[in-house]
Amino acid sequence: MEIPHIFRQLGFSDKEIKVYLALLSSGTSSVRKIAKDTDLNRGPVYEALKSLRETGLVAVYQKHKKPYFLAEDPEKLIEVVERREQGIIALKRQVNELLPELKSLHAHGDDRPSVKYYEGMKGLGIVLKDIIATMTELGGEREYRAFSAPVLREYICRNFPNFTKERIARQIRGRVLVVGRGSEEWPLIEQRCIQTEASVPTYTYIYGPKVAFISLDENESPVGVIVEDARVAETQRIIFENAWNSPNVERRVAMAATIEEHL
């Protein structure tokens, strides 16, 4: 494999490659000599030398008040590769952190259901923000429906207190079917209870044209799925309304007395 190709793989420009290889073969040189050896104008030579010095491949010293340049030991290239490798690892980590947010912005060009998957605390935060944003955009009477699972309810309240504060601030109401034991009362939330000994692993939000499912994996890390499809959401609303009006549901229509005590 030819040498210039390797340098291009490392991100060096053709001008930087010419200047570095000229210095390797000719030794200490002035800008004038480098320009002559590479058939480049002085301006591009200065730019290439500046970049190569920042990378650590070229050194400079003064002689008779004029700058002279020399190539560093080629072993310095290993350090360049290692730095690039570390940069790629850091970039990969940043991209992974951004993926949930980027996925939430991903638009589909047809009417097929959109399914978005989120992991971890940051991913769950995006799901909850989407509920607030979607309900706010709907305007009019803002009310979501939810099937509340005890473990997930406590997890969300403990780790995302701002979700409730933001919901109250935007006057977003909710009707919640509490599966299992009851929960404390919250402003703008009407609750009814389904008494069961069965363990329910998923918290479900039905809001606008979307349904969000939240659960915890085997490592107690949150996992969220948003299904965006008006037909799916309407089906979930029908199921919710039938359960909400069932005679087997314990009706708890009282709400917290004041909003301020929860802010």
pLDDT tens-digit readout, 203-221: 999 999 999 999 988 888 8
For CA atoms 225, 231, 237, 239, give the dihedral sign.
negative
pLDDT digits (tens, 9 = 90+) for 161-183: 899 899 999 999 999 998 776 56
Q: Is the pLDDT of residue 107 over 60?
A: no
- Confidence (pLDDT) at 246: 83
Considering only residues 5 and 238, tell me which one the structure prediction assigns the higher pLDDT: 238
Considering only residues 253 and 122, tell me which one the structure prediction assigns the higher pLDDT: 122
Considering only residues 101 and 238, tell me which one the structure prediction assigns the higher pLDDT: 238
- The structural domains of the chain, with segments of one domain joined by +, span 3-74, 112-262
* CATH of span 3-74: 1.10.10.10
Tokens (6 digits) for 262: 């929860």
Q: Is the pLDDT of residue 127 over 50?
A: yes
For CA atoms 70, 71, 76, 77, give the dihedral sign.
positive
Considering only residues 90 and 69, tell me which one the structure prediction assigns the higher pLDDT: 69
The contacts of residue 125 (CB under 8 Å, 6+ apart) are 160
Q: What is the mean pLDDT of the chain?
A: 83
Average pLDDT over residues 42-46: 91
Task: Give CA separation, 186 vs 29, 102, 167, in Å.
Answer: 77, 32, 11
Average pLDDT over residues 57-69: 87
User: With pLDDT > 70 as the criterion, what percentage of the chain qualifies?
Assistant: 86
> How far is Cα 200 from Cα 148, in angstroms, rounded to an integer?
9
CATH of 112-262, picked from 3.40.50.720, 1.10.3470.10, 3.30.870.10, 3.10.20.310, is 3.30.870.10
Q: Is the pLDDT of residue 108 over 60?
A: no
- Confidence (pLDDT) at 150: 79
Q: Is the pLDDT of residue 128 over 90?
A: yes
| 258 band by pLDDT with thresholds 50, 70 and 90 | very low
Strands 173-179 vs 189-194: parallel, antiparallel or unpaired: parallel
- Confidence (pLDDT) at 103: 64
Average pLDDT over residues 193-205: 80
Tokens (6 digits) for 103: 């996925």
- Confidence (pLDDT) at 213: 94
For 245, the 3-state DSSP assignment is coil
